[in-house]
Amino acid sequence: MTPPLVYRKALELCELSRAIASYVTQNKDLLKLYQSNSLRDIIADSLLTDAILIRQQIARAEESSNPVVRFRTTHFVSVMLRNLQGYTNGLEHHGVKEKEYLDLLRKEIKSFKKVFKKWRRSLGSHRDEGNWGYQDYLGY
């Protein structure tokens, strides 16, 4: 079974984020970026973490039949997409000279957003969006 397009685009976004995080940091052990005192390393770690979480949340929404879970995961992905844009801007303002790499990431985020919006609409709407329980979201 072929994964949905939105999941494949999330994988591409994750791979590009990993490559950029690896490029912009002096610390090549990406699993330990969070321990660094360097702002660039912290931004790179956040970029990588959110890209991974986007992929995981897409998979979670695809596997769930619960409309509350689907709504919350799509909302969570929307927040993380805004974060990715902010991290890209942060890297640029923190002195990453190779702007073309950051522009490539921006383009990939934009491409993902188009696919994501179409996919989100295909999930249907949750009529009671404001009345969701935290336990519902966590699966309790």
Give the whole-angstrom CA distance, residue 91 versus residue 81: 15
> What pLDDT does residue 98 have?
85
The class of domain 5-138 in CATH terms is mainly alpha
From residue 41, alpha-carbon distances to 30, 33, 77 in Å are 9, 6, 22
Identify residue 94 by its one-letter amino acid code: H
Q: For residue range 98-113, list pLDDT tens digits in order.
A: 899 999 999 999 999 9
Local confidence pLDDT in tens for the 140 residues of the chain: 677 999 999 999 999 999 998 888 776 666 666 666 777 888 888 999 999 999 999 999 999 989 999 999 999 999 999 999 999 999 999 888 889 999 999 999 999 999 999 999 988 765 544 444 555 555 54
Q: Which tokens is 97 given?
A: 């000279």
pTM listed for this prediction = 0.82
> What pLDDT does residue 80 have?
96
> What pLDDT does residue 21 have?
86
Per-domain residue ranges of the chain: 5-138
Q: What distance separates the 2 farthest-apart alpha carbons in the chain?
A: 48
Give the whole-angstrom CA distance, residue 52 versus residue 50: 5
> What pLDDT does residue 140 have?
47
Give the whole-angstrom CA distance, residue 94 versus residue 96: 6
